[in-house]
A and B are shown apart, each in its own frame.
Chain A
Amino acid sequence: MSFQIKNSGEAYDVIIVGSGAGGGMASKILSEAGLSVAVVEAGGDFDPAKEEDRTQLRPPWESPRRGAGTRIRPFGDFDAAIGGWDIDGEPYTRKNGTEFDWFRSRMVGGRTNHWGRISLRFGPNDFKRASIDGLGHNWPIGYDDLKPYYDKVDKLIGVFGTKEGIYNEPDGFFLPPPKPRLHELYMKKGADKMGVPMIPARLSMLTRPINEERGVCFFCRQCNRACQVYADFSAGTCLVHPAMKKGKVDLYTHSMVRKVTTDEKGKATGVSFVSKVDMKEYKLKSRVVVLGASACESARIMMNSKSKTHPDGIGNGSGMVGRYLHDSTGTDRMAIVPSMMDRERYNEDGVGGMHMYTPWWGDNKKLDFARGYHIEYWGGMTQPAYGTGGSMNSMRQYIKDEFGEPSQNGGYGIGMKKDIRRLYGSTMGMSGRGESVPMYDNYCEIDPNTVDKYGIPVLRFNYNWTDQEVKQAKHMHDTFEEILTEAGGILLGSKPGPETKYGLLAPGRIIHEVGTTRMGDDPSTSVLNSNCQAHDCDNLFVVDAGPFVSQADKNPTWTILALAWRTSDYIVSELKKKNI
């Protein structure tokens, strides 16, 4: 796809900012309704089926750093996502000594090129948390409003799993799941002893084909590198590119949106963006503007879109844009399993993620924190690359020598080489990913003193975890220790204590940030109505995770997709009725 610049005279029906899960879904649904669409993306085009874009199946020796992470690919040199926590010339700042880390992907498909494809529906309780525990606020919509869209997303994109009949973990149209790996059965043994459920994972990879356009998974465990046969979901391969093939969709790459433009009455008229190719400013016009730039980037664009009618930024009459920013909680633990040492070798790659997981099982009424978490599991005979054989200075003690004595840590030589081989595939670990309580005082705002290299004012973050999240992290570690020990593992590292908030990762680190443009029925306490339409600008919509009132303990992508589809249907219907 070559770069294209259009003259400002031509108007589209809809401009969509961002090509990730939300923008991608909107581009597909709106173009299929016959509308002309411009997708404006800050990064380049990307298609893993093209040989020049392929990182899948490359061995580590095709990288001089053997797959180690870099600034723009912190999750590894072959990771598909381009951008990272710290993008050159695109800073963000923090306030009051607080922490927030912001992960961005500048490319077609956005962060769907990175995520673990864990595709969980929000359940009925997840939309009404305030009614259950009195904290935060309810969504103005419920599970029944989204269920038909979740069903359609399942069929369009594909997700494997099993029907379990758990009330708050709704079942869907599932593809068959893959059988578990060895470390997952060890984990299950530990979980069973504790009464913690462990069920087949729900991941959006095609274990069977769903159409003629996409291939089927061939089990290389590299979904994070993007699949050349499109057997995993990413917004570029499954939504944006198909939409471009079928409909009137123009893709503007390397285009950094500065603001939403408006007319005298405050209606959106299009966007103004900087082309990263020539560093010049361009304008596009449209009847409707849809923001899907990510929760924080869309909030940034809105707050930067100031005008006479929108003095605090478009959609920000309530002052709520940027407020209630929240991410999932997260912390991890790992163990070594003596009975998995000296394992028989076989190809254990599987899919690019866990084959089993634990949905939240607890009853918060009996616990000292408000909301739950799910558990992800990892381990096995993964591809040796940067990092393999490391930490013998602390791990070698777990190997018994020929006399049954623990080995000395560290060392060198043929004996150590053999010990590394004996240890390979015998470690496993788990990660908790939980729900936090949205707070008015956790927010992003425009930093009055800092601009990026395009001259666009940047975001400044203010974020503190509350006791709810800290106590939840403590519960995670208590659970992890019990499961890992019951599974026959020896815990590695030490249990984090209160001085580190029980290992609770910094906000932003789980990359599930939501809530910055939340929906609600009351225009004084929310940014959007229940159709994700701005209260104070009826032709402006948001389709990323900004509209979420609360982020469940689920990964947000499946809900972004369902919500973006529903919002797109509403846009089509409102345009037909000439309401906007």
Chain B
Amino acid sequence: MNRRENLKLLFTGSVGTGLLLTGCSPEQQALPPKDLLSGGTIGGRTAEEKQRDQELLSDTFFTDEERKKLTTLVDVILPKDEESPAASEVGVVDFMEFMMKDQPDNQTPMRGGLMWLDFEAEEKFAKPFNELSESEVITIVDEVAWPDKAKPEYEGAVRWFNMLRNLTCSGYFSTEAGWKYIGYVGNKPNAWDGIPQQVMDKHGFKLEEKYIPLYLKPEDRGTIVQWDDEANIIG
């Protein structure tokens, strides 16, 4: 039994019961959960979703050579600086590997762009992209990274680089390091009590007077609400 069949057994038998399918001989038992690949979405998954994540995680799209090109490129797009790590350090290439399989329409344009890199590297420097120096890499990137001033013959490569840039940013800012860099401080329980006063002042805003008594007061969040017959809150 191959891995895919194993996965099918593991998940399709479990609809509604949470139990693994039984009924096959001992050597054909489904994989125990501990043998599953890690990295699938956590929380509230259906059997179909678990199976799909496992299948995608067990397939490989990029070749080693392609991964090497991507590692170079994502670190050009989002390099390390004094405040934050480089894209390759936070798993951006692994994220792209998964997304190629999850949204397969991107596979051909992505692979096409990575192949074009070698063509361009040969034309300009007579060697494959993965053997270029840093400054040679930048020479090629500069041809395609600026959509408004790129030469018309690079139109297709510009489109590919836009996709690469977008995916790099998605993969970067959706990590803990990305959150820290961008300064996102939400996703935790709190009691929203409006915009901080200094921000209101800076942007020149005041709350409308008539609503001030009506807005939620955080101290009331523990008390069950009561209305009178006219729908006024009285407790």
Residues of B with C-beta under 8 A to A344: 196, 198-199, 202
Render B197-228 as a binary contact track against A, CB cut-off 8 A, 1 for contact.
01100110101000100111100111111010
Q: A417-460, CB under 8 A of B: which get 1 and which 0?
A: 10011001000000000000000000000000000000000000
Q: A179-B193, A208-B216, A209-B224 are in contact. Are A64 and B57 (CB under 8 A)?
A: yes
| Chain A interface, DSSP helix/strand/loop, else mixed | loop
Q: Which A residues between 32 and 54 are near B, CB-CB below 8 angstroms?
A: 44, 46, 48, 52-54
Stretch at the interface among A19-27, A242-250, A405-413: A405-413
Known: A276-B15, A421-B182. A219 touches B173 (CB 8 A): no
Does any Cβ of B come within 8 Å of A376's Cβ?
no
* Residues of B close to A177: CB separation below 8 A: 211, 214-216
Whether B192 lies near A349 (C-beta < 8 A) is yes
Given A163-B231, A208-B224 in contact, is the A339-B203 Cβ separation under 8 Å?
yes
B189 at the binding interface (Cβ < 8 Å): yes
Q: Smallest distance from the beta carbon of B14 to chain A beta carbons, Å?
A: 10
Q: With A178-B215, A218-B189 given, is the CB distance from A409 to B146 under 8 Å?
A: yes
**Max chain B Cβ within 10 angstroms of own Cβ: one of A179, A391, A412:** A412
B183 touches A345 (CB 8 A): yes
Contact A176 B217 (CB under 8 A): yes
Give chain A nearest CB distance to B162 CB in angstroms: 4
Q: How many residue pairs at the A-B interface have CB separations less than 8 Å? A: 270
- CB closest residue in chain A, given B196: A346
Chain A residue, CB-CB nearest to B202 = A344
What is the CA–CA distance of A211 and B165 in the complex, to the nearest angstrom?
49
Residues of A within 8 A of B77 (CB): 412-413, 416
CB-based contact B224/A178 at 8 Å = no
The residue in B16, B181, B189 that gathers the most chain A C-beta atoms within 10 A of its C-beta is: B16
Q: Which residues of A, 363-394, contact B by the 8 Å Cβ criterion?
A: 381, 383-394
Partner of A209, one of B188, B215, B225: B225
- Nearest-Cβ distance from residue A84 to partner chain B, whole angstroms: 12
Mask of A51-94 contacts with B, CB within 8 angstroms, 1/0: 01111011111111111101010000110101000001000000
**A385 neighbours in B (Cβ, 8 Å):** 170, 173-174
Q: Contact between B199 and A178 (Cβ–Cβ < 8 Å)?
A: no
Report chain B residues within 8 Å CB of A151: 231
**Chain A, residue nearest B186 (CB):** A349
Q: Are the CB atoms of A413 and B76 closer together than 8 Å?
A: yes
Known: A347-B190, A421-B183. A388 touches B174 (CB 8 A): yes
A174 at the binding interface (Cβ < 8 Å): yes
From residue A247, how far is it (CB to closest CB) to chain B in Å? Answer: 23
B133 — which chain A residues lie within 8 A by C-beta? none
Question: Which of chain A's residues have a CB closer than 8 A to the CB of B24?
Answer: none
B191 at the interface (CB under 8 A from A): yes
Instruction: For residue B166, give the distance in angstroms from its CB to the closest CB of chain A.
Output: 4
- Take A409-B148, A416-B77 as given contacts and tell me if A387 and B190 are in contact as well, using a CB distance cutoff of 8 Å: no
Asked whether any CB of chain A lies closer than 8 Å to the CB of B117, the reply is no
Most B CB within 10 A of own CB, among A66, A68, A211, A277? A66
Report if A253 contacts B (CB, 8 A): yes
Encoded as 1 (CB less than 8 Å from any A CB) or 0, chain B from 146 to 182 comes to 1111000000001001100110011111111011011
Given contacts A216-B221, A384-B174, A411-B145, contact A54 B162 (CB under 8 A): no
B220:A383 contact, CB within 8 angstroms:
no
Partner of B41, one of A77, A175, A381, A411: A77
The residue in chain A whose Cβ has the minimal distance to the Cβ of B225 is A208
Of A180-188, A292-300, A316-324, the one touching chain B = A180-188
B39 CB within 8 Å of chain A: yes
Say yes or no: is B194 at the interface (Cβ < 8 Å to chain A).
Answer: yes
> Contacts of A212 on B, CB cut-off 8 Å?
224
Residue in A64, A254, A397 whose CB lies within 8 Å of B95: A64
A57:B16 contact, CB within 8 angstroms: no
A471 contacts the other chain (CB 8 A): no
A contacts, CB < 8 Å to B: 2-3, 44, 46, 48, 52-55, 57-68, 70, 72, 77-78, 80, 82, 88, 151, 155, 160, 162-163, 171-182, 185-186, 189, 200, 207-212, 216, 218-221, 253-254, 276-277, 339-340, 343-351, 381, 383-394, 397, 408-414, 416-417, 420-421, 424
Which A-B residue pairs are the 10 nearest by beta carbons? A389-B169, A179-B194, A218-B189, A66-B174, A3-B16, A60-B174, A345-B183, A349-B186, A176-B216, A388-B173
